[in-house]
């Protein structure tokens, strides 16, 4: 996974999906982007990234949607877009769950229910 290229997309997406106080046109604060970066960084080592150039053919992408509670614990991990391999999709779910708990999400990302949703791609070796 290319952390820098994904973080901006995720942080903007997180503000839109969370239904929280940020407006769609607002630029996420450093606090928000820093938190999202920390979440991705905590998950990233478990994926086996970065892949060597010769191993790219064996990598698949799974898009996961994660609901994180106000205390940083993972409430739910769903597969938004499958890799086409059920075992790999389950591994992606397990990697995200194992990476938690995370630090508590910033207030602007929290919904009235006290959660935030993130959706992002994970590239995994088969």
Task: Give the integer Cα–Cα distance in Å for 10 and 118.
Answer: 7
On whether the CB atoms of residues 100 and 67 are closer than 8 A, the answer is: no
Residues 6+ apart with CB under 8 A from 10: 36, 40, 118, 119, 120
Task: Return the domain boundaries, the chain.
Answer: 3-125
Domain covering 3-125, topology: 3.30.1150
pLDDT in tens, 89-102: 999 999 999 999 99
pLDDT in tens, 6-36: 444 444 454 444 455 444 456 778 889 899 9
pLDDT class of 48 with cuts at 50, 70, 90: low
Highest mean pLDDT among 28-37, 55-64, 105-114: 105-114
pLDDT value for 110: 93
The verdict on pTM exceeding 0.85 is no
């Amino acid at each position: 996974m290319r952390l820098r290229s994904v973080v901006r997309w995720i942080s903007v997406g997180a503000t839109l999906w969370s239904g929280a106080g940020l407006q769609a046109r607002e630029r996420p604060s450093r606090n928000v982007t820093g938190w999202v970066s920390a979440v991705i960084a905590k998950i990233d080592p478990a994926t086996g990234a970065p892949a060597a150039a010769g191993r790219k053919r064996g990598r698949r992408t799974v898009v996961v949607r994660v609901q994180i509670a106000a205390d940083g614990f993972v409430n739910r991990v769903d597969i938004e877009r499958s890799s086409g391999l059920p075992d790999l999709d389950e591994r992606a779910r397990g990697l995200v769950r194992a990476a938690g708990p995370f630090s508590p999400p910033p207030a602007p990302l929290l919904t009235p229910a006290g959660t935030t949703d993130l959706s992002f791609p994970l590239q995994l070796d088969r």
